Amino acid sequence: MKSILETINIKNIIKNAHQKLLRGELVIFPTETVYGIGADATKPKAVQKIYDIKNRPYHNPSICHFVNLQKIEDNFEINELALKLADTYWPGPLTLILKKKKSSKISSLVSNDNNLVGCRIPSHPIANKLLQSVPFPIAAPSANISTKLSSTNINHLDTKLKDNVFIIDGGPSTLGLESTVINLSSDNPQILRYGSITVEQIKKIIPKIDKEKEKEKKSNQLSPGQQIKHYSPNISVRINVNSVLDGEVLLNFGKNHLSSKLLELNLSPSGNLNEAGKNFYDYLHQLDNSKFGGIAVAPIPDNDLGKTINDRLKRSIEKK
């Protein structure tokens, strides 16, 4: 139970963040997945600040965060399938690509000048309080520099962000992997980004969901996280290794013969993919040090959250 002083402090922090968002400034805030860097989604100049500070290309859309389903319905067309998914996973780590109503005031910069926008309702209590405090949705991609590792606690934040953006410290993220993104704008729903809700879970609601994530043309992206080079440490990464080279540190998983002479972090010694997902970005940040020659990554099962982890790892080693 939070003390009275802690409660007062949170209220004051939310009040300060609220005032900054009203002035068109940026705020870094926690969600259950990763930290986001947010702005008033209805102000183009505010949204532009996100892209500028992250060095984020404009064709890489952001996700729009809402306090409740009614606010989404005010701005977007909602079909029965969207309502079914919303009833199951909102608030939570699910992003739905929905068609914007003509009456919506959400800036086109949020979605690459597209009328299709990624929408979600986060479950983190601080994110929820922040959204309750403002009369607009918050556009918020992950709080990192473009192509770099996502942040699951404020220690992960790049110095450029720490020095220039108001930060709400909500402690470590409870899930540790981004939201799952599903495109519901056509008759053939597609998973565009693997995330904290697994393909197996989604298939219980949409048995014939299309798992081909990248059918959309690169020039008309609907989901964040689809860059060829993304989620990358500063040092090199080798995945699915069967041995660790001299000078490499090890991101391990489960029990095996692998070891590093320098440093080893095990995502889950017991082989639990939920534990691995929660630790994933935190451990990569800890291993990402220029004094090491690279990061060797043990094989990770390609099922459930393993699909999400492997997706992030594959993008981390791709060249731009």
pLDDT band at 214 (very low <50, low <70, confident <90, very high): very low
- Whether 182 is in a domain gets the answer yes
| Cα 202 versus chain centre, distance | 18
Domain contains 230: no
Mean per-residue pLDDT, 120-149: 97
Whether residue 89 lies inside any domain: the answer is yes
Return the percentage of the chain with pLDDT > 90, whole number: 84
Please identify, among 163, 190, 220, the residue that sits at the C-terminal boundary of a domain.
220
Judge if 89 and 140 occupy the same domain: yes
Residues 6+ apart with CB under 8 A from 241: 258, 296, 297, 298, 299
Q: What is the pLDDT of residues 9-45, one digit of tens each?
A: 889 999 999 999 999 999 999 999 999 999 999 999 9
In the prediction, which pLDDT does 5 show? Answer: 46
pLDDT given at position 228: 60
Task: Please state, as a whole number, how many other Cβ atoms lie within 10 Å of the Cβ of residue 270.
Answer: 10
195 shares a domain with 57: yes
Q: What is the pLDDT of residue 7?
A: 62
Identify the three-state secondary structure at position 316.
helix
| 3-state SS, residue 69 | helix
Interhelix angle 273-287/305-317, rounded to 10 degrees, is 20
Same domain, 216 and 242: no
pLDDT single digits (tens) 45-64: 999 999 999 999 998 999 99
Domain-terminating residue out of 190, 220, 250 = 220
- Helix or strand or coil: residue 267? coil
Query: 214 and 259 share a domain?
Result: no
Find, among 24, 173, 201, 183, the residue nearest to 99 by Cα. Answer: 183
Strands (E), 114-214: 116-120, 138-139, 166-167, 180-183, 190-193
For 157-207, write each residue's pLDDT tens digit: 999 999 999 999 999 999 999 999 999 988 889 999 999 999 999 999 999
Do 76 and 147 have their domain in common?
Answer: yes
Residue 141: count other Cβ atoms within 10 Å of its Cβ. Answer: 24
Confidence of residue 113 (pLDDT cuts 50, 70, 90): confident
Residue 260: pLDDT over 70:
yes
Q: What pLDDT does residue 112 have?
A: 84
Structural domain of 266: 237-317
Do 216 and 284 fall into the same domain?
no
CA distance 190 to 108: 22
State the pLDDT at residue 222.
Answer: 77
User: The domain spanning residue 64 has which CATH number?
Assistant: 3.90.870.10
Residue 75 in domain? yes
Distance CA 25, CA 19 (A): 9
pLDDT of amino acid 221: 77
Q: What is the count of structural domains for the chain?
A: 2
pLDDT at 2: 53
Beta strands in 17-150 (DSSP E): 27-29, 36-40, 63-65, 76-77, 94-100, 116-120, 138-139
In a domain, residue 113? The reply is yes
pLDDT at 220 over 80: no
* More confident of the two residues 290 and 8: 290
Residue 96 three-state SS: strand
